Structure 1
Amino acid sequence: MEKIFLPRVNDLHFHGRSGQVLKDILPFTSEVCSHALFMPNIAGNEIVNARRVEEYRAEILKVCNPLFSSCEPLMTIMITPKTTPPTIEAAYNAGAVAAKIYPRGGTTNSENGIDDWDSHQLMAVLEKMEELGMVLCVHGELVYGAPEKIEVYGQYLGVLNEIEPSKREIRFCPIISKWCQLFPQLRIVFEHITTHAAVSLVFSLPKTVSATITVHHLLVTEVDVMGSHLNPHLFCKPTVKGYADMAALRAAAFSGNPKFFLGTDSAVHTKSRKEECGCAGVFSAPVFVEALIELFTEFGQLDKLPDFISNFGADFYDLPRASQTISYRREPSLVPGRIKESYVPFMAGKTLAWRRDE
């Protein structure tokens, strides 16, 4: 097969940033997507109310003009400890289709995230979302647990409550299960899952619970990030895991189960920021479709790709399925080392087997 046609993508987890960065990176997404779900953790100006939903959408549309683009932005609001049911309802009426929970201190720009998972206010917010039909998107990691006295070989190390990064997603799974029981009609997306435990959980829960999977978690393990040397451009949150977890993610993506669909979590930082302070995020927008074609082709699962990248996500979010297709041809394509001098894309310097037709 030398040419294939795929529906326009629904990227249901995208970090568009703002200002000049938005202008620099949005074309990579808008050229191939039917919809993109924009994350609300904008540095210094988070999307936390209806006014910010409207302002951010207006900023996006100035770059991604609907008269010239087939990509529709989908808006979200960030849930903070100050969020109330009226806040959520106003954001919904302003066009937000989903609300996002970040664990406090667990990822980029999450200082105003949640750390009280049983608060009455949070429960009231989730109840309002269930009533409105909004989707709950969750960065599912438990960053802080109950304080524990740590003693190793008789040496007292202190009282610690921060959970090791590799265990945070697994520790969060019971919270997803609890919310599913408390709010049976609430649609929940367990975002960018990375572990076998998360895959198993999503399979076991009702159809109101789905999960997004990123391209980098399907292709990269912790060996790639910190094997022979540290590669800051592959560092992300949640962290990539080992081979067994990657195999579980691939099995889910190849399964044809509508609970699992694409959310790239493409999150750009400048080269200097990645290399100087190790900001979490992988910039996959320029290459994710071609990389997925290669992966699904390698394992004989190409027929499952349209559902994974487009149809299943549209169905879960009650969006129209993409009516347009884009053609890709089998032809070597070198991924540039840098884009616009400032950004290092996923798979920089590597050669992909497919490229998009112009």
Structure 2
Amino acid sequence: MTTTATTQPGTPVDQPKQDGTLLRVLRRLGFENVSLVLAIVVLSAGIASVNPAFLKLANIAAIGNYVTVMGLLAVIQTVVIIMGGIDISVGSTAGLASVLTGMVFAANGQWWAAMLVPLLVGALCGLFNGLVVVFGRITPLIATLATLASFKGIAQLVSNGRAQGFTGADPVFIFISRGTILFIPTLIWVLIIVAALVHIMLRFSRVGRDIYAVGGNDMAARLSGINVNGRILLVFVLAGVVASIAGILITARTGSGQPVSGSEGLEMLAVTGAALGGAALRGGKGSVISTIFAVILLGVLINGMTLLGINPFWQNIAQGALLIAAVVIQQLSAGGRRVGLPK
């Protein structure tokens, strides 16, 4: 005889557990974004408790201006990493663009020519990187390590290793470096616009979906009809263009083309910002919004260390520690095999 369970009226029936409101909000915002914002708030509060000058509007604007160049490079580095590559030549490309901006402006005094030439050269630098990766069949790390040195050498060669030109008297460059729109510095607006355009491309376009697919599994992407080589070339060209925009901002901010000093170490900051924002170095995962929060965190950290009078050499140590921490967290969360340990 089989007994069947009956449900009496009013008796609760087992139903799937519903997530709490807070958990749903956190998932929508993204745990990485929330954790980065909390880190920014806690770090800012700690620095301000020691040095109240940290919260002055002038210092906050200084942080914003400082993170602009780093943010541009970190945003485009995020795209390259999502694709499954890395471009450590972006700092050298920015330095070359900065030099060309100063030299072209000194030659003809036209701000538009001083911006157009480095943008074209930056696109060519990115295209060269892409061609080396695609047709030379060299990993992006090695290819861009080589061009990091080459582009830096070209910048030093054409400038004789010295700052070039003077843009500090031109109204357009003055507006870029010191102007404001709706009380927000122009430099920050440049970062906002570029980041928004890249975010829209990644999230709402076929090109963006293709980039994620290539980074997730390039062989599967190729079999599904995606032009993998074309997407790789496109991403590296975009990296060169955005790096050139960063170089133009360096020239506007310093008043002259800087072959090395204005761009030294930017590639490290770009990779750190992207990795800290959750861009998976294995490819296929990343977010521009998270990268922006990570860049702000880096800016707050570096600015705070300066205000507190900490030896500048510790900044490099802090950046390296953050990069290691970000990659370790990625590796552990992905369940990947750690080097030197059994599976």
Structure 2 length as normaliser, TM-score?
0.27
Looking at secondary structure, tell me which structure has more helix per residue: 2
- Structure of larger gyration radius: 2
Q: Name the structure with the higher strand share.
A: 1
Higher relative contact order (CA 8 A, sep 6+): 2
